[in-house]
Structure 1
């Protein structure tokens, strides 16, 4: 019997289309999961007693970007700009499943909102408006431009030595002198990095652009990499993005195989 491909949970966002609520997930993220050699499973949301079932299915967790922001009540602040979209239904289950996934060593890849979700879930805080902070640049995209320009390269990121990102991107030609170019489409960003998270890359103004979880419980960490930029955009054409997704996929495969050794009946799922 052929072993199934790893299954990666992908959270949906909540949208009202017409007069009715829908659950939606961006195609570019699902394409990137398949580029990683995995099968995406879009999750519309979850009740607390459903998390065990979802984690039993999960060989990986990919947390997508979104127009919505994490509600600032999760890091002890009031809403700064009520005109910006929020998605408290997504917050309600992604924040607890992130903590569970990391503790249970499920591979995690967080992108943009997903990057911010992981920081908040683990006890960190966000700048609600990076561009209003002294000394920090405006990292927002320009949605009046064609999408290929909006998602084009915006600034370099500087890899912090000795970490997961440096190891992941070893030998990638697009990385020169410890840095590479990324796009930039975020209004919020890391303020206080949560305990246990390690900065992996910084923007020229010092904004954290990538981090990993470095547990201190004595157990080996699973692959976890959270990125403020959008590697899923034209991922197959970007050598940095391709390497990141391939590495994530390999970690999901290894996690799947390790769990199959413990529970061979999972082959029949």
Structure 2
């Protein structure tokens, strides 16, 4: 059986009704890149039974989203009230991240998910990177078509000897760029894996985690089968999910044997 990877949902209103939703491209990346079985996790906040859910999963994918992590989680006020928020997702993913890291459950995080991980573990964000002296404007041009919006925008330099460098085997890669927020203060236990040309952190891992963790600011899920770097990243994540699944099954079998 393939490992189960949770994809925490965003909350969206379609017509008169609220929905738990996840974009196809993220779900597809779990299947095509990681060879795992995706399962969309509803954003229930405090109503979510974390222990039950975490016992079921073998990995977690934190997706990008139009919404931003609420800045109250890093002691700031909202800079631009016109930008969307998703409090139910915040209330779900932030405790989920901390619990999953502690358990060693493999995590891959993208864009908003990258920002969620930094905030969940004690870091802060620039709410408008384009206004920070010395930083580029990392936002996409909404007037362009999707292929152009998700096209290569700049290069990131991989930290030599880091986990991502080991996975990809190259000193730099071109990436797309579709974000207005970014890392300000990196959480103390995070390890930088890649930076943009303006010095903005573009990838990190959790240094003290017993399991696989990889968070990236760009969107590797976009047309994943046409991007060898993205396939390698998701392949490494999938391998980690399989190893976690096997270890979990072995522990359960040992518990059953001991009880007989």
Q: Which residue of 2 aligns with 1:246?
A: 235
Does the 8 A contact of 2:118 with 2:124 survive in 1?
Answer: yes
Distance 2:43 2:204 in 1: 25
2:43 is aligned, of 39, 42, 45, to 45
Counterpart residue number, 2:258:
none
| CA apart distance, 1:48 | 5.1
Deviation of 1:21 after TM superposition, in Å, equals 0.7
Indicate the residue corresponding to 1:111 in structure 2.
110
What residue in structure 1 maps to residue 219 of structure 2?
230
Provide the rounded CA distance (Å) in 2 between the counterparts of 1:165 and 1:143.
Answer: 30
Is 1:221 the counterpart of 2:214? The answer is no
Aligned twin of 2:155: 156
Matching of residue 28 in structure 1 with residue 29 in structure 2: no
Q: State the shift of 1:23 in Å.
A: 1.0
Matches within 5 A, 1:122-201: 122-170=121-169, 175=170, 178-201=171-194
**Greater alpha carbon shift after TM alignment, 14-23 vs 116-125:** 14-23
Residue 205 (structure 1) aligns with? 198
- Find the aligned partners of 1:125 and 1:48 in 2 and give their Cα distance: 26
Q: Go from structure 1 to structure 2 and tell me whether the alpha carbon gap of 1:161 and 1:238 turns closer, same or farther (over 3 Å shift).
A: same
TM-score where L is the length of structure 1: 0.92
SS in structure 2 at match of 1:202: strand
Partners of 1:208 and 1:251 in 2: CA distance: 24
Q: C-alpha displacement at 1:253, in angstroms?
A: 0.3
- SS at 2:49 equivalent: helix
Q: Deviation above 4 Å: which 4+ runs of structure 1?
A: none
Instruction: Work out whether residues 48 and 92 of structure 2, in 8 Å CA contact, stay in contact via their aligned partners in 1.
Output: no
Q: Deviations over 1:107-131 (max 9, x none)?
A: 0000000000000000000000000
More deviation, 5-14/46-55: 46-55
Structure 1 unaligned residues grouped into runs of 5+: none
TM, length-normalised to structure 2: 0.95
Give how far 1:168 is off. Answer: 1.0
Change (3 A) 1:120 1:203: same
What SS is found at the alignment partner of 1:77? Answer: coil
